[in-house]
Structure 1
């Protein structure tokens, strides 16, 4: 089964194609300017060329559903729905945090904790079992302070995600490891996607919405004062 993967929740615009568990091609780029609107469909074209297949060969679409960038998630969801409607294929959605932990499972960590930068001292976070990848806490928005995650101070823990840098500066966890260069990526969505396909856990394309976690807050422009 040939599957198209889209991940647009972070600074990493990521596209991949697999044939069942075999990853055929990945096209991705981390940009501080969030280039999903510019790059996503170009990356889809590149991935199709790299996999040496055409769009009509795709049999399912998997979307990293968030949480993360509101605009990025909207772009990814609109594209995923468009492909599914046009090709009449199912949509699978996976928590974007799932892909961040894959490289660290089974590496002698007790816990892998994702930290996606929200705003100020806030992060989106999930705690995972470091051996099995089992989710041990629900995805939540958390404001960091010196007491955050203190229950893990005697455990072997790695914090991953672009929120790890500000966490490292404030958390009182001398033994913990921090990796702020880890972003959600389509190349680590394959296993979870195949599990969902096996269980027929497909999304209702018409009513699907990304996992925003919080409402969108736009920036209000200051009105010019009258002279």
Structure 2
């Protein structure tokens, strides 16, 4: 029986959904509208399943982008994924945003054997969420908040070719303009297709999350403030 996995990616301003059958892409849909996740995610899911002639009851699992990324976006994606998994009694798979982006780029990069892949998500000012991966997906540096300056990742750049991409990479590029080992790939965004690429292997490993208690990987604590009482 084929394994159908629905993937949701809401960690960025792009609202993205994808459907894979046994690891092969069946269909995808995305919407590039700011703050559209809460009102459009379920619509995209229903349209994708209808166009793919697949029912919810045929799904084997739901995969969701685990973060880091937009706090609100991640919460919306997690809530939707948990709701579907609970209602359908199917497993929940969480796929890290950064390893998914790295896998997406590695899959279409020629001569990638000696390259390290460095996704960077903008975290405001001169900070990014970043990590470092080998072409086979092995983690070299774990996901972490990274302050950017001319010395950032200097040791790695001295010994390896690094390919930078994602929403935070552009502000790092001027800082390492003299580094021959630094390459930059524009236009790479988090995608549900990439989430689905990694979700199949997680499904086969039975690497599932607890539907009741799952929370996204925000990476940094979210601070909220209480409005001051009016006098």
Structure-1-length-normalised TM-score: 0.90
Aligned residue for 2:151? Answer: 147
- Is contact 2:5–2:200 with CA below 8 Å preserved after alignment? no
Match of 2:30 in 1: 28
Show CA shifts across 1:114-157 (max 9, x none).
1001121111001011x322111111011111110112334322
Closer, same or farther: CA 207–187 of 1 in aligned 2, 3 Å: same
Indicate conservation of the 8 Å contact 1:4/1:62, yes or no.
Answer: yes
- Name the SS for the 2:62 alignment partner: strand
Cα displacement (A) at 1:164: 0.6
CA contact (8 A) 1:153 1:173 kept: no
Structure 1 alignment gaps of length 5 or more: none
**What does 1:179-194 correspond to in 2, within 5 Å?**
179-194=185-200
Report SS of the residue matched to 2:140: coil
Contact 1:24 1:50 in 2 (8 A): no
Deviation at 1:96, TM superposition (A): 1.0
Give the SS at the match of 1:38: helix
Following the alignment from structure 1 to structure 2, what is the Cα–Cα distance between the partners of residues 59 and 148?
42
CA distance in 2, matches of 1:182, 1:220: 36
Pick one of 108, 114, 118 that aligns with 1:113: 118
For residues 98 and 28 of structure 1, what CA distance do their matches in structure 2 show? Answer: 20
Question: Distance between the aligned counterparts of 1:156 and 1:2, measured in 2?
Answer: 37
Matched with 1:62 is 63
How far apart are the structure 2 equivalents of 1:219 and 1:161? 30
Task: State the TM-score, normalizing by the size of structure 2.
Answer: 0.89
Q: Which moved more, 1:212-221 or 1:165-174?
A: 212-221
Which residue among 145, 152, 163 is the counterpart of 1:158?
A: 163
How far residue 30 of structure 1 moved from its aligned partner, in angstroms, is 3.0
Q: Report the number of matched residues.
A: 223
1:1-227 equivalences in 2 (<5 Å): 1-31=3-33, 33-105=34-106, 107-109=110-112, 110-129=115-134, 131-154=135-158, 155-175=160-180, 176-218=182-224
Q: For residues 156-191 of structure 1, give each alpha carbon's deviation from its aligned partner in whole angstroms, at most 9, with x where no partner exists.
A: 221011001111122355332223421111112233
SS at match of 2:142: coil
User: What SS does structure 1 have at the residue aligned with 2:141?
Assistant: coil
Report the alpha carbon displacement of residue 64 of structure 1 after superposing the two structures with TM. 0.7
Offset at 1:222? 8.6
Paired with 2:122 and 2:225, the residues of 1 have a C-alpha distance of: 18
C-alpha separation between the residues in 1 aligned to 2:214 and 2:178?
A: 39
